[in-house]
Structure 1
Amino acid sequence: MEEVDVSVRAELERLRDSIDNIDAAVVHMLAERFKCTQQVGELKAVHRLPPADPGRESRQIERLRRLAESAKLDPAFAEKLLTFIIAEVIRHHESISGEDGVEHRE
């Protein structure tokens, strides 16, 4: 294997440090998002609202696709990511409301 120039290694390390910091921020932002959606799920359960809201989900996907385009991010990737997150949120909401078939106690 060829030896890599020290300046290239330094730049690679700098970039990887930035990636690690961004990954940490993404995880923390997702945690905050799920705290909010947990509260939404609890509110829906108390008021016997359905766990899923297809109209809002569609609007959010379109909104995220537009944001992705303006950020020069593949809109299809952004949609896949949000669809995955929405599915997890709905799963949580179903669990909160008891619609997952498991008995839940307060």
Structure 2
Amino acid sequence: MPMTATTITTTGESVRGELELLRQSIDNVDAAVIHMLAERFKYTRRVGELKAQYRLPPSDPAREARQIARLREIAESARLDPAFAEKLLHLVITEVIRHHEAIARTP
């Protein structure tokens, strides 16, 4: 079936419409990720306060290693690159430790 100007225009509009719907879904997922990270940081803040109160070190390498292994498994089952998941978790852990160090310095 030959492509006409109407077919091309309709197809272009259809693709743009689908792209917009997909991008809206991506935006929703991004917002959910940010909200989940904010929720996670509420808990890690409390952990940091307890660590400061009892003079515990801001990082826990054994816990971090267990978390990395656990989240790599979850990533695999979710069909997400485990190396990417590990990089993301390292970023989060680094930020958590920074927060814990700041909490420990607070009088």
Find the aligned partners of 2:38 and 2:48 in 1 and give their Cα distance: 15
The structure with the largest alpha-carbon Rg is: 2
| Pairing 1:7-22 to 2, within 5 Å after superposition | 7-22=14-29
Find the aligned partners of 1:73 and 1:51 in 2 and give their Cα distance: 29
Higher helix share: 2
Work out the number of aligned pairs and report it.
Answer: 99
Task: Give the 3-state SS of the residue equivalent to 1:5 in structure 2.
Answer: helix
| Pairing 1:23-102 to 2, within 5 Å after superposition | 23-98=30-105
Runs of 5+ consecutive residues of structure 1 not aligned to the other structure: 99-103
Greater RCO, CA 8 A, separation 6+: 2
Find the aligned partners of 1:23 and 1:81 in 2 and give their Cα distance: 14
Task: Give the 3-state SS of the residue equivalent to 2:57 in structure 1.
Answer: coil
Q: Deviations over 1:11-49 (max 9, x none)?
A: 000000000000000000000000100000001100111
Instruction: Please provide the CA RMSD for this pair.
Output: 1.3
TM-score, normalised to structure 2, is: 0.89
Find the aligned partners of 1:5 and 1:91 in 2 and give their Cα distance: 48
TM-score, normalised to structure 1, is: 0.89
Runs of 5+ consecutive residues of structure 2 not aligned to the other structure: 1-7
